[in-house]
């Protein structure tokens, strides 16, 4: 049976007064919003992080994924997380970063939205991953046959119109489509998918001050990749 507040010698009034005092103290002496582990388990180089991802992708593509004890991992991750990479990927149900790179819980910090472009909110999440989780690698992961990029191509080439908030999403992908279109590729959708990854890697690199400073200090690296829906393989670009 659970103890009541009174059983524990604490009245509700005491608790409320205590909470008020704590809030007042907090207002006078602001504390950092997030705790930072000074010797995190993910303190590896960006190169090593990328190597782990690509080895995992090779296992996934060969259908030889590692066996993991999910309960043991859950228990070990209750108090903290130590992801080795932050990945901006498409929401597409066929592209799941944890599967594609054969990683377990706590290994990847993932931002997903259709078309894998850097939004302001997504950028803030990546900044959090770098600044407070000490993630050493950032990746933009596009994929073949991306419906969001194909839709943006239709809007640019055929002036197709989309309902709801979709035009806003397409607006974010359009610059990559227009840049790819200018090079007259034989496959515009494939070229735009690749350009979209490059544009968004650049956006990460230019983010000041958090990501650009971490890059300059060589604390992180950025990379782009394309996931092939047919083979499961990720090609770095
Ligand atoms: Zn997609």
Give 158 Cα–ligand 1 centroid separation in angstroms.
20
Using the Cα atoms of residue 57, residue 195, residue 151 and residue 164 in order, give the sign of their dihedral. positive
3-state secondary structure of 110: strand
Query: What are 83-138's pLDDT values in tens digits?
Result: 999 999 999 999 999 999 999 999 999 999 999 999 999 999 999 999 999 999 99
CA 98 – ligand 1 centroid, Å: 16
Structure token pair of residue 197: 């990854």
Of residues 15 and 49, more confidence is placed in 49
CA of 215 relative to ligand 1 center, distance in Å? 27
- Distance, CA 188 to ligand 1 centroid (Å)? 15
CB 54 within 8 A of CB 141: no
Task: Find the 55 Cα to ligand 1 centroid distance in Å.
Answer: 23
The Cα–Cα gap between 102 and 99 comes to: 5
Compute, in angstroms, the gap from residue 203 CA to the centroid of ligand 1: 18
Cα 132–chain centre separation: 14
- 227 strand-pairing partners: 143, 234
pTM of the complete model beyond 0.75? yes
Phi-psi region of 75 (alpha: psi -120 to 50; beta: other; left: phi over 0): alpha
**What is the 24 CA–ligand 1 centroid distance (Å)?**
48
What are φ and ψ of residue 78, in 5° steps? -60, -40
Structure confidence at residue 28 as a pLDDT band (50, 70, 90): low
Query: 90 C-alpha vs ligand 1 centroid, how far in Å?
Result: 5
Say how many Å lie between the CA of residue 147 and the centre of ligand 1.
5
CA of 114 to the centre of ligand 1 (A): 5
State the DSSP string of 23-91. Answer: HHHHHHS---SS---SS-TT---HHHHHHHHHHHHHHHHTT-PPP--HHHHHHHTSS----SEEEEE--
Bridge partner residues of 180 (DSSP) = none
Residue among 95, 119, 82 at smallest CA distance from 200 = 119
Cα of 190 vs centre of ligand 1, distance in Å, is 12
Sign of CA dihedral 61, 66, 67, 72: negative
| pLDDT per position as a tens digit, 36-71 | 776 678 889 999 999 999 999 999 999 999 999 999
């Amino acid at each position: 049976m659970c103890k009541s507040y009174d059983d524990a010698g604490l009245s509700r009034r005491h608790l409320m007064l205590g909470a008020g005092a704590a809030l007042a103290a907090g207002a006078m002496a602001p504390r950092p919003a997030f705790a930072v582990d000074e010797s995190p388990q993910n303190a590896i180089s960006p190169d090593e992080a990328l190597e782990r991802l690509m080895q995992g992708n090779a296992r996934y593509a060969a259908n030889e994924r590692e066996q993991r004890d999910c309960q043991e991992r859950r228990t070990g991750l209750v108090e903290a997380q130590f992801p080795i990479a932050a990945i901006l990927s498409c929401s597409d149900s066929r592209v799941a970063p944890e599967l594609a790179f054969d990683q377990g819980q706590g290994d990847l910090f993932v931002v997903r939205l259709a078309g894998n472009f850097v939004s302001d909110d997504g950028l803030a999440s990546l900044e959090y991953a770098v600044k407070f989780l000490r993630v050493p690698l950032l990746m933009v992961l596009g994929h073949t046959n991306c419906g969001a990029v194909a839709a943006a191509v239709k809007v640019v080439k055929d002036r197709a119109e989309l309902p709801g908030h979709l035009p806003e999403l397409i607006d974010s992908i359009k610059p990559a489509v227009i840049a790819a279109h200018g090079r007259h590729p034989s496959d515009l959708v494939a070229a735009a998918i690749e350009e979209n990854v490059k544009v968004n890697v650049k956006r990460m690199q230019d983010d000041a001050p958090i990501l650009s400073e971490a890059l300059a200090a060589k604390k992180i690296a950025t990379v782009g990749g394309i996931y092939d829906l047919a083979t499961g393989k990720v090609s770095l670009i």
